Amino acid sequence: MMYERFFSVMAFVLGACVGSFLNVCIYRLPLNLSVNQPRRSFCPSCKTQIPWHHNLPLVSWLLLRGRCARCGARIPFRYFAVELLTALFFLILWKTFSWQVAIAYWVFIALVIAATFIDLEHFIIPDEITIGGTIAGLIASLAVPQLMDTDRRLVALLISAGSAALGYALLWLVLEGGKLVFGKKRIRLDKPTPFTWTRHGDDADFVVGDEKSLWSDFFAREKDKLLLHCSSAKIANREYANTILRFHYNRVQADSETFELDHLEDIIGTANEIEIPREAMGRGDLKFLACIGAFLGWRAVLFAIFAGSLYGSAIGLVTLILGKRVWSLKLPFGPYLALGAITWMFCGDAIVRWYQILLRPY
């Protein structure tokens, strides 16, 4: 009993420490910053490096009341939540599975938590997590073949690799099929609505009425086009009436003229209708599902897609009920895949058995 309590406490503490490192990854990876330099964490506001006694997982955030000791800027609750969530998952996994499987799942849950919080904030899942996670899953399956429900290492490695490939291929088919069927969305505006395209740096702000979006968000492929049906438009001191502006990611065509967007500072006008290109999901989701397959196997791939779709539909329905959905709203799919994978880890087999009984009650 004493050893059990000791290792449970150690699992919780280790999880909190890993969660602290995950916060570094969640903040730095989307900004292309090194997770090693600077080695110590720093305040996002004043950039002052945080001394070790102000960087104790869970404890420091509570003692400092969620503020930087140097400048007093608020430290988001997310930092505390990630540390606590990771600590709790490490403890639960340790108490639920054999120690070999638990350690492998520790690696997986750390990847899942980092991917979820990055995707929620930035709508991307970095390759360091997806591709690196897939490689880690292959290594884990070779070291702990129980992950693939076998005791033969080579068989486990082959199943892991096949499951990763299956996950990527399935979502690739969904991505390409969705592009063909739902590749553009047509919005008829209630009345002639002012719009602006305004450059800032290498990107631009695209504003139609009350809707403001980042220009790069609309173009996942070079062939994508955004069509703006305008009653009036002004480009480079040229004025157009009752025209369709045909935008590519780097140029716009108005009537017979083509303008390079790199040479423009702004475009203004009044729009009646807009056709925007869209994707069923991001390509990071494909690689993320490959990572899930590498750690959990092919059944988890199918379950994560099914459960993730249900979770996403439920959340989407709630947002419709609670508030107005706007046309530019983006919903990341990665967190739903993560939730589906976690569901599989703890009760996937039980859910499958229940579903089979439901289909064949007698």
For the packed helices 153-182 and 298-322, what is the interaxial angle rounded to 10 degrees?
A: 40
* 40 vs 65, higher pLDDT: 65
In contact, 205 and 198? CB cutoff 8 Å: yes
Beta bridge partners of residue 352, listed in sequence order: none
Overall pTM > 0.95: no
Confidence of residue 229 (pLDDT cuts 50, 70, 90): very high
188/238 same-domain check: yes
Confidence of residue 142 (pLDDT cuts 50, 70, 90): very high
Q: Report the pLDDT value the prediction gives residue 335, as an integer from 0 to 100.
A: 94
**Mean pLDDT score, 203-209:** 92
Q: Report the pLDDT value the prediction gives residue 2, as an integer from 0 to 100.
A: 85
Summarize pLDDT for 325-339 with one digit per residue, the tens.
Answer: 555 566 789 999 999
193/126 same-domain check: no
Q: Report the pLDDT value the prediction gives residue 168, as an integer from 0 to 100.
A: 96
Rounded CA separation 268/194 (Å):
8
216/259 same-domain check: yes
In contact, 335 and 120? CB cutoff 8 Å: yes
189/175 same-domain check: no
* 70 vs 80, higher pLDDT: 80
| Percent of the chain clearing pLDDT 70 (strictly above) | 97
Summarize pLDDT for 76-115 with one digit per residue, the tens.
Answer: 899 999 999 999 999 999 999 999 999 999 999 999 999 9
**Phi, psi torsion values for 320, nearest 5 degrees:** -70, -40
**According to the per-residue pLDDT averaged within each range, which of 38-47, 103-112, 169-178, 352-361 is highest?**
103-112
Going by DSSP bridges, is the β-strand pair 184-200/266-277 parallel, antiparallel, or unpaired? Answer: antiparallel
189/322 same-domain check: no
* Least-confidence region, from 40-49, 238-247, 256-265, 273-282: 40-49
Q: Is the N-terminal amide bond of 38 cis, ω within 30° of 0?
A: yes
Rounded CA separation 78/95 (Å):
26
173/285 same-domain check: yes
**Mean pLDDT score, 124-141:** 96
Q: Report the pLDDT value the prediction gives residue 306, as an integer from 0 to 100.
A: 93
- How many helices (H) and strands (E) in the chain? 9, 8
Confidence of residue 362 (pLDDT cuts 50, 70, 90): low
Q: Report the pLDDT value the prediction gives residue 242, as an integer from 0 to 100.
A: 93
Beta bridge partners of residue 200, listed in sequence order: 203
* 305 vs 33, higher pLDDT: 305
Q: What is the mean pLDDT of the chain?
A: 90
Other beta carbons within 10 angstroms of residue 91's beta carbon come to 21
286/173 same-domain check: yes
| Percent of the chain clearing pLDDT 90 (strictly above) | 62
Question: Does 127 have pLDDT greater than 80?
Answer: yes
Confidence of residue 150 (pLDDT cuts 50, 70, 90): very high
Rounded CA separation 236/289 (Å):
45
Question: Does 255 have pLDDT greater than 80?
Answer: yes
Question: Does 8 have pLDDT greater than 90?
Answer: yes
4/42 same-domain check: yes
Residue written as token pair 């916060």: 23
Of 91, 120, 155, which one is at a domain's C-terminal end?
91
At CB < 8 A and 24+ separation, what contacts does 340-344 make? 340/303, 340/304, 340/305, 340/306, 340/307, 340/308, 340/311, 341/112, 341/292, 341/296, 341/300, 341/303, 341/304, 342/109, 342/112, 343/303, 343/307, 344/296, 344/299, 344/300, 344/303, 344/304, 344/307
273/285 same-domain check: no
Q: Which domain holds residue 188?
A: 184-277
**Number of separate domains in the chain:** 3
* 282 vs 163, higher pLDDT: 163
177/188 same-domain check: no
